[in-house]
Amino acid sequence: MCGIIGAVRKSDVLPVLLDGLKRLEYRGYDSAGIAVIANKSVSRVRSVGKIAALEQAIQTRQVLHGTTGIAHTRWATHGPPTEINAHPHISEGRIALVCNGIVENHEEIRQKLMSEGMRFVSQTDTEVIVNLVSREIRQGKDLLEAVKETTSMLEGAYAIGVVSADEPDRLVGARHGSPLVVGIGDGESYIASDMSALLPVTRDFFVLENGDIVDIQENRITIVDQSGRTQSRPVKTSSLSLEAVELGNHRHFMSKEIHEQDQSVSNTLEGRITGTRILEACFGNRATQVFDRIRSVQIIACGTSFHAGLVARHWFEEHGIPCQVEIGSEFHSRIHAVPEDSLVVSLSQSGETRDTLSALEHAMESGYAHSLAICNVPDSSLVRNSELVLMTHAGPEIGVASTKAFTTHLVALRLLVIALGRRFRMTETDEARLVRELRELPKQIRAALEIESQIRNIARQFVDKHHALFLGRGIHYPIALEGALKLKEISYIHAEAYPAGELKHGPLALVDNEMPVVSVAPNDRLLNKLKGNIEEVRARGGKLIVFADSRTRLRSQENLQVIHVAPVDSSIAPIIFTIPLQMLAYHVGLIKGTDVDRPRNLAKSVTVE
C-alpha cells in the first residue's frame, strides 16, 4: 500500500514531505520519491530502498527546494521496484503525479496513448495517468479540468496527487477507492494518505469521498465531483497527538492493537476491492499469469499464522480449491509428494520467522510451482524470497501476542480465496457477496469490541484457575486454537483447544467444576451439534463461557454464561469471533499481573529454528 503526501506552502516544502514519508513508512514500500515545483520547472529525486537513501540522493544533488510538491512511497505492483518505476512520474517534463492504487484498464490506455505518439519509460500503471493528464493539458485544459477528464477514463481503485510546472502554486488530488485526506494549515494546505503524516503541521483536515477531486491553490481549497459540481466536506480536528500514534490512551500495546483491528482491516482492503470485485494486481504484476496455472494451495506458517491458515483451508475448499496447511517446522523436515501447479502461501507477521523461511526454501527446492507471501513487514526476508506478495498493512504490531496481524492475515487470505476462486467454481454473484461482506467487516469488528466490559467481568473468574478448555466446530475449531494460544501466552494458564465433536473421545475426562470451558457459537449449520456438546459439558458439572451470535437463542442458565456477539455472516464469522477471545486473554492477563505486551520466554519474531 503506497503512501502519498503533497503540499502547497508559504515556505520550503521539502522538510514536510520528507517527514510525512517517514510517518507513512508503516504502510510498506520498496522505493520513494519527491517532486517539487520551483522556478516554473519540476525537480524530482527518486530512489530504491529506504527513505534514508532518498535523503542521501537529495543531499547529493542539492535540489528540491520550493513551496509546492508531492512525495510517495511505493510498494511495487506493476513493474519491479526500480528507480525508473518509482513515483513521482513525470510527463513531458511539466506534469508530476503520484498514485496509491491500481488502474485496471492501464494496458488499454497505454496502447491508445502510444498510438498517439506518447512516450512511456516505466512499467507502471501510474504512468498512463500522468500521460493522460499531460495530453488533456495540451488540448487546452487547466490542471483541474485535465485531472477531472483523466479520472473519468480510469477503472480501478486509486488516490492521486498532481502538480504542474505551468501552475506552480497549485496541487490537485483525486480519490476513487483509496483514501486521501486534506490538511488545512495557516495559509497552506496538504494532502496525504492518512492524517498521521500531517500531525506535525496541522490537526485540521477533511476526508475526500469517492469521486472527489480537490483543487488546492494558495489560500483556497475547492472540491468538485466528476460532473464538476462543487462539494463540501466537514472539517475535523484530529484528536491524535504524536504520542498517540504510539501507545496513546491504552495501557498496553496489546489493548491498542486489539482496538486498531477495524482500521487495520480497512487498510488491508484499501485499494484492493471495488464495489463487487477484488483487484487481482494487488498480489503483484505477475499474479494473473501465476493464478491461471494454480490447481492447489499449500499454506505454511507458525503459531497464530498457522491458525489463520487452518481457517482459510475451509474457505478454499468451499470453492473447490484443494488446500493443505502445515506448520513450518514440520514442513521443512520431511519429503513431500508435490502436487502439480501448487501455490505455496507463506504467512508471517514479521517475515523473519526462521521455520517459515526454511519451509519456503524447502518447498521451492521440492518443486512447488509458485510462491506467495502474506506479511506485515516490507523488505523482510519472506517478502524478498517470494514470487508474489500481499502486504497486510496492519501497521506496527508491538505486542508479542499477535492480534491485528491475525485478523489481517485472515482478510488477506479471503482476498486470495476470491482471486483463485474465480478460476474454480466461484461465480460473479458469489464474488460480489464476499466483497460486500469484506466491506462490512470493519463495522462488525467495532460492534464486537463493544462487549469488552462484559468480558472484563468474565475474566475475574480465571484469577485462581490453572487450566482451561476451548471448543469449536468446523471452521471455528482454529478459532478455539487461537483463543487457547492467546490465554496461554498472556496469562500463563494452561489452555487446550479441541473440536467440540471430539469431547467424548477423551477431553470430557478433564471436565469438572474447576476448569472453565470456553466456546464460540456462530449461527451456522453446526449450531445444533454444538448445542449438544454444550449439554455434554453441563451434564458433568462443567462451567461454560459461550460467545454466541445473538440469533442463536442461547441464553445464560446454570453452569452456562452466554455473551452475545452482534449477528455476522457465517463465512466471515471466524474473524469476528476471535475478537472476544483476544479481549478475554488480555483481561485475564491483567488480573494475573503478567506482562501482557512481553510474555516470558517469547519473542515477537522467532528467527531461530
Q: Which SS3 state, helix, strand or coil, does residue 247 take?
A: coil
Given a contact cutoff of 8 angstroms between Cβ atoms, the answer to whether 533 and 499 are in contact is: no
Distant-in-sequence, close-in-space partners of 105: CB < 8 Å, separation ≥ 6: 153, 154, 155, 156
Other Cβ atoms less than 10 A from the Cβ of 484: the count is 25
Q: Where do we find the cell 496489546?
A: 254
Per the structure block, which three cell numbers stand in for 496?
Answer: 487446550
Q: Which long-range contacts (CB under 8 A, 24 or more apart) does 558-565 make?
A: 559/513, 560/534, 561/458, 563/451, 563/454, 563/455, 563/458, 564/451, 565/447, 565/448, 565/451
Burial tier of 335 (Cβ tally within 10 Å: 0-12, 13-18, 19+): exposed
Q: Are 82 and 31 spatial neighbours (Cβ–Cβ below 8 Å)?
A: yes
Per the annotation, the verdict on 2 as an active-site residue is yes
Question: CA 58 to CA 502: how far, in whole Å?
Answer: 63
Cell numbers that stand for 65 in this block? 527546494
Strand pairing category for 370-375 and 342-348: parallel
What type of residue sits at position 266? Answer: S
Backbone φ and ψ of 432, nearest 5°: -60, -40
Q: Which helix (H) or strand (E) holds 167?
A: strand 167-176
Within its chain, how far is the Cα of 566 from the centroid?
A: 23
Of the listed 2, 99, 282, 375, which one is catalytic?
A: 2
Whether the CB-CB separation of 274 and 376 falls below 8 Å is answered with no
Cβ partners under 8 Å of residue 402, min gap 6: 303, 304, 305, 349
User: Nearest Cα to 28, choosing from 271, 283, 375, 280?
Assistant: 375
Sheet holding 516-521, edge to edge: 494-499, 467-472, 516-521, 543-549, 560-565
Nearest alpha carbon to residue 343 among 371, 366, 323: 371
DSSP one-letter code for 110: H
DSSP assignment of 278-306 equals B-GGGG-TTHHHHHHH--EEEEEE-HHHH
Helix (H) or strand (E) holding 135: helix 126-138
Q: Which three cell numbers stand for residue 153?
A: 477514463
The count of other CB atoms within 10 Å of the CB of residue 149 is 17
Percent helix, strand, coil in the chain (nearest 5)?
Answer: 40, 25, 35
Instruction: Reply yes or no on whether 256 is catalytic.
Output: no
**Which residue of the set 488, 531, 592, 604 is catalytic?**
604
DSSP designation for 177: B
Peptide bond into 80 cis (omega under 30): no
DSSP bridge pairs for 467 = 494
CB 110 within 8 A of CB 128: yes
Q: Residues with catalytic annotation?
A: 2, 604
